Amino acid sequence: MLYQPFFLNATSHYMRHVADKCGISHFYTFKAENDGAKALGIPDGCVDILMCCDEDNPTLTVCGTGFSPRRLYLNAGVRYFGIRFRPGCFFIEDKQLSFSDAVGKDIEFEQLPDTYKRMLESGDFYQMIDIFLKSYLPLYSDDADNEKARGIMEKILQTEGCCSIEDIAEDSGYCRRHLTRVFKDAYGMTPKTFSDIIRLQSIIARFRGGMTEVDYQILVDEYGFYDQAHLLHFFKKYLSMTPKRCDDFVSDENYLKKLI
């Protein structure tokens, strides 16, 4: 699972339901706290659909993965419902948007599609999931047209971002330039950038899994960095913080208490 740990910074009563099928990673819901402007999205290679469940002013926002941290401005005291798709997957009813269209953007819709109107009327987290799936599953496609690009993505996911595009090119029989073009056309970023994002997420998962102390050299060796300076530069680029600060945050007791 790919994480948004700093998203919880401005939330309370965060709940998650893992789907991990048909292109969906998981569903989640939370209430924005008074300091809602402190929510921070980090690169995760995913697209989210985030619904503001304000009955007087509901909105729907498509949040594409970015390449650096970015602020997410939430309405204090309001309940939100979210859908996180698996990397490379995305669908929204009645809207002509692809995964690559959403990359690096937050696209807001003031008019809710019919499915989301019914979800809003329900208000119950699990009923909202059920309403969504009944509409989504009959329309779901595994995007066979992008089989080559999907194969590159799956290889990157399987190796947690530690395979090179040269290795993928050698295995496939295609040249690096061709594979890079195919991948970028399908997903709006290069395989190298996507690999970096997945490598970052894998390290965060290690921290969440209880890595007792940050050992920079272990991370350098296992994730293919040149040296510790390269590792620190990598974290500064994608998180604007050090590995130690990231580890401290995701293992903090106050953070863990927010997970229901």
Query: What's the pLDDT score for residue 255?
Result: 65
Between CA 204 and CA 107 the distance in angstroms is: 27
Burial class, 189, CB count within 10 angstroms (exposed 0-12 / middle 13-18 / buried 19+): buried
Domain contains 260:
no
Do 49 and 125 fall into the same domain? yes
CB 17 within 8 A of CB 129: yes
Query: What's the pLDDT score for residue 80?
Result: 94
Last residue of a domain, one of 81, 116, 139: 139
Residues of the chain with pLDDT under 70: 1, 34-38, 94-95, 142-145, 210-213, 253-260
Query: What's the pLDDT score for residue 1?
Result: 64
Last residue of a domain, one of 123, 139, 155: 139
Last residue of a domain, one of 104, 139, 174: 139
Domain with 156 in it: 144-255
Do 126 and 184 fall into the same domain? no
